[in-house]
Structure 1
Amino acid sequence: MGRRKPKPFFESIEVTGAGSRGKSIGKAPDGRTILIANAVPGDTVSVQTTRKKRQYYEGTATALLKPSPDRIAPKCAHFGSCGGCKWQHMDYSAQLRHKENEVRNNLIRIGKVDLPEVQGILPAPSPYYYRNKMEFSFTDSRWLEEEEIQKGDTIADRRGLGLHKPGMWDKVLDLEECHLQADPANAIRLSIREYAKKNGLSFFNPRNQEGFLRSMTLRNNREGEFMLILQFFQEEEENRIGLLEYISNEFPQIKSLFYTINPKGNDTLYDLELICYRGEDHIIERIGKLEFRITPKSFYQTNSAQTERLYQIVRDFAGLDGSQRVYDLYTGLGTIAQYLSDQAKEVIGIEAVPEAIVAARENARHNGITNARFFAGDMKELLTLEFIEEQGTPDVVVTDPPRDGMHKDVVACLLEILPQRIVYVSCNSATQARDLGLMDAHYEVTDMRPVDMFPQTFHVENVVLLERRNGK
């Protein structure tokens, strides 16, 4: 058997741009594109390739020969090992520039959209400490850094609490710090970890499916109130009560403390019974004058401060004067629907998750909203001409689908009823562009605003206004 041919190594590559999913772009000596991890546009780097395709290479920067003007020192000690912040080594203004370019390029290249002159990307109010939800995993065999491995010492206690390594479902990086969620998030996580170690509690092993402490989810609102959800793999009543009492006494900021026993093969909460051990069964988040009850299973935008600004853009694009019927597709908790309700004749929200619709109705009652109705069902099956005939034809449609974009049947239905305006909110401008291309014969893009909901990452939200073409 012959030896494998070594993968190409390139000595000096100029990084010319940002590609998809946080990779940077360079050009190999043979003319092929290189998708480079661990590089910033403007760098000159050495690259070890990891994959070779007909038209491109994939690789990792192994040496920085000349730094980009946009390169900065990362704030977090775990940068490079943790997958939470791919762009922490890039100046924030450069992050914004590359995100906006990606959105524009996708709409032009994939959707063939003739973009009008539009406003630039909306920066986040804060590039750090903006997340209102973080999920951490316990592990009995934490990820070892290269320097630890090289020492060759036997590490007796490998228990840890942190984030999964990118692409590795069973590997967890133990975190000493994280700069994505506001204080006292770090203190809560570290205190729980140290209490568990001191009291001999066992940490989870996903391969063997054993251990006591499994995961923790930490949510907070803009008032500084926290919700903590602990998952235990198995019941150990004395240990469970001891930990929960410790947390209750140590952190008065935790207004809502939940736990669950989860012996399943995955960490998803939605099919589990969650028990409120202490405090309220929700925390309240406010958008303008509206209040929303956030429960452990609620979906809510992860950047609270930027969410309100995103919704204001949606409202501006919708152009409501009180006479319009609005459909809010993929409504979730009904937050956008309720935010628009005071400027609409009627708002109808549709969402696939029944629990979310129950919460949307409860929130609407709590907020005194009487002109919003909510329906649960699979979007492509519920949004039909029969449904629209029964509920009334919309003048304006707001759609905020998942990353896969809208199902082709949903697009087809919109093209049947042809509302005057469609406001399309997306967390994936590539699938958004695909859908815009499908609607191009009847709609033109008249406005667009990218919104940075996720600083230090390559993710970006985009809002597009579609208006019906004359005579169509």
Structure 2
Amino acid sequence: MEYKKNDILTVTIEDMGSDGEGIGKVDGYTLFIKDAVIGDVVTCKIMKAKKNYAYARLEKVMEPSSLRTAPVCKYHKQCGGCQLQAMSYEAQLKYKQNKVRNNLIRIGGFDKEFVDHIMEPVVGMENPYHYRNKAQFPVGTDKDGNLITGFYAGRTHDIIANTDCALGVKENKEILETVLRYMKENGITAYDEKTGKGIVRHILIRKGFTSGEIMVCLVINTSKPLPAQEKLIGLLQEIPGMTSVSVSINTERTNVIMGKEVRTIWGEDTITDTIHVRNTSDFSLTDKGISFHISPLSFYQVNPVQTEKLYSLALEYAGLTGQETVWDLYCGIGTISLFLAGKAKRVYGVEIVPQAIEDARKNAEFNQITNVEFFTGKAEEVLPEKYEQEGIHADVIVVDPPRKGCDQACLDTMLKMQPERIVYVSCDSATLARDLKVLCDGGYEIVRGRAVDQFGGTVHVESVVLMTRKDG
């Protein structure tokens, strides 16, 4: 039977895709249905039909799955942030474990039994809400011209007015409402993407979970001081924990949120936070930790509690005794590098973003860590140069690349350097699987691997994998 746009069908959801969409079949015809959960029986409306499959809109849940739960946020369907909030947290963890497993099998070409043998249980959260230490809220107006802030609806730039995101810290609501009130009382306009006019584009909020320090940065479409700036400062400094208030100048017609210039208008330029080492047997806290200065532009993991677990696993996988030379590729502001330094002889970090390297050096000095050195540049260029021209070897390489994975030249140099161990930290298990295949073909084998849920309610999951040289 041929199916077409606007057809209404009833289907049982049997699987879920990599983007969290429910998957079901009618007479062998595959349907992808957003907001449907495995085990649901739903009616859906075809929105885009292809020969063998279609994308459909959920019309009604006829029989809810045992895995379905009441979403905490009433905007979860419209908002592009949380794809899995209608699924129980236990089911989310199983989905994420399977996502990593399936990518290792399908993309990496690894044997199912082998993957099941090396994969350890997924590391979940104690509380999968209010875990984000950073959020960026676009500012605009509704159809009646009222100032609003919130999040973009999925795949659009239409703002859903919401000052109380279930993933953010509790202070967000008060801060956002304070900024909107200041704007309204002082006639300050929101930026309009269509015209390029208006002043306030985004509101960035960061919080140090250990320190309790809060940073607010308004992204503005002007190089002039904010009108009635002192009134905004007066309101914000009354909020407990407020440490830094700044503006980011962005006058370009672009979708890039932050501008290149940041001006502190009250308080400190940065806030501080501490990432603690945890016992990997039960993830209890130890008394060891690394503190970081965080600016509005700093890259810093958004879920500090789960980051502690992820980095503690990476530290354990590295198997350091104090005698090793370690390379940390794509090191950012040095979070993993400084974590490793306490148990390594020497650590070298590489990162392409100059500001991140500057922050990494300051963080090393702040923590009085002297056995680390940071280089600015592409990992695939710095690594060969230091290895081939200066003879700097590696006993252990830790790599934490962006979502696109490692550059081929970087992988090639890692294989040339032949470290005893490679620890691969990944935010995308698809590119992880691709790169692991290359490294295994080059003489390495996977020993252990584990998924860590950094982003409850979403389809995203981090992974950490230990590889050793086959002849090691």
Q: TM-score, normalised by structure 2?
A: 0.91
Once residues 283 and 127 of structure 1 are traced to their aligned partners in structure 2, the CA distance between those partners, rounded to angstroms, is 24
The alignment-based identity, stated in percent, is 37
SS in 2 for 1:21: coil
Aligned partner of 1:149 in structure 2 is none
SS of the residue 1:394 aligns to: coil
* Residue of structure 1 in register with 2:88 after alignment: 91
1:21: which partner in 2? 19
1:266 corresponding residue in structure 2? 254
The structure-2 alpha-carbon separation of the partners of 1:240 and 1:64, relative to structure 1 and needing over 3 Å to count, comes to same
When residues 445 and 398 of structure 1 are mapped into structure 2, their CA distance, relative to the original with a 3 A threshold, is same
Q: Does 1:214 align with 2:201?
A: yes
| Aligned with 1:174 (options 125, 150, 161) | 161
Q: 1:402 to 1:249 in 2, by over 3 A?
A: closer
Paired with 1:66 and 1:132, the residues of 2 have a C-alpha distance of 37
Equivalent-residue separation in structure 1 for 2:470 and 2:6 (angstroms): 51
Give me the whole-angstrom Cα distance separating, in 1, the residues matched to 2:51 and 2:376: 46
* Residue 41 of structure 2 corresponds to residue 44 of structure 1: yes
Residues 344/386 of structure 1: CA separation in 2 closer, same or farther (3 Å cut): closer
Question: Could you say what secondary structure the match of 2:328 adopts?
Answer: strand
Match of 2:304 in 1: 304
Q: 1:240 to 1:310 in 2, by over 3 A?
A: farther
Deviations 1:297-320 (A, max 9, x none): 100000011111111100111111
Backbone CA RMSD of aligned residues: 1.9
Deviations along 1:394-421, whole A, 9 cap, x unmatched? 0111000000000111111112222111
* 2:254 counterpart letter in structure 1: N
1:447: which partner in 2? Answer: 448
1:12 maps onto 2:10 in alignment: yes
Query: CA distance change for structure 1 residues 84 and 270 in 2, over 3 Å: closer, same or farther?
Result: closer
Q: Which amino acid aligns with 1:234?
A: T
Among candidates 218, 241, 244, match of residue 230 of structure 1: 218
The superposition leaves residues 357-377 of structure 1 with CA deviations (integer Å, 9 ceiling, x where unpaired) of 111111111111111110010
Equivalent position of 1:277 in the other structure: 265
Change (3 A) 1:373 1:238: closer
Contact 1:77 1:177 in 2 (8 A): no
Q: Which amino acid counterpart does residue 324 of structure 1 have in structure 2?
A: E
**Bigger shift: residues 116-125 or 71-80:** 116-125
Matches within 5 A, 1:105-254: 105-113=102-110, 114-115=114-115, 116-140=117-141, 142=142, 156-169=144-157, 171-222=158-209, 223-234=211-222, 237=225, 239-254=227-242
Given that 1:347 and 1:373 are in contact with CA atoms closer than 8 Å, whether structure 2 keeps it comes out as yes
State how far apart, in whole Å, the 2-side matches of 1:61 and 1:77 are: 16
Which segment is superposed worse, 386-395 or 324-333? 386-395
SS at 1:22 equivalent: coil
C-alpha distance after superposition, 1:276-302 (max 9, x if no partner): 111111111102331110111100000
Q: Deviations over 1:325-367 (max 9, x none)?
A: 1100000011101101111111110000011111111111111
Aligned residue identity for 2:41: T
Cα distance in 1 for residues equivalent to 2:308 and 2:330: 18
Contact 2:427–2:461 under 8 Å retained in 1:
yes
Native 8 Å contact 2:249 2:258 kept in 1: no
Match of 1:400 in 2: 400
| C-alpha distance 353-236 of structure 1, shift in aligned 2 (>3 A) | closer
Contact 1:99 1:460 in 2 (8 A): yes
Q: Distance in 1 between matches of 2:134 and 2:386?
A: 39
Instruction: Give the equivalent residue in structure 2 for 1:147.
Output: none
Equivalent pair of 1:133/1:302 in contact (CA under 8 Å): yes
The residue number in structure 1 matching 2:376 is 376
TM-score relative to the length of structure 1? 0.91
Structure 1 residues 361 and 176: alpha-carbon distance in aligned structure 2, compared to 1, 3 A threshold: closer
- Give the Cα separation in 2 of the matches to 1:264 and 1:363: 31
Structure 1 pair 122–388 and aligned structure 2 pair: CA distance change class (3 A): farther
Which AA in structure 1 matches 2:371?
A: N
The residue type equivalent to 1:88 in the other structure is Q
Moved more, 66-75 or 438-447: 438-447
Q: Which runs of 5+ in 2 are unaligned?
A: 277-288
TM-superposition CA deviations, 1:166-196 (whole Å, max 9, x none) = 2113x21111421111221111112222332
SS of 1:208's equivalent?
coil
Paired amino acid for 1:129: H
What residue identity is the alignment partner of 2:19? Answer: R
Shift of 1:59: 1.7
Q: Secondary structure in 1 aligned to 2:337? A: helix
**4+ runs of 1 displaced by more than 4 Å?**
235-238
Partners of 2:226 and 2:373 lie apart in 1 by 46
Compute the displacement of 1:8 (Å): 5.3
Q: For residue 217 of structure 1, report the CA deviation from its aligned partner.
A: 0.3
Q: Is the 8 A contact 1:349 1:373 kept in 2?
A: yes
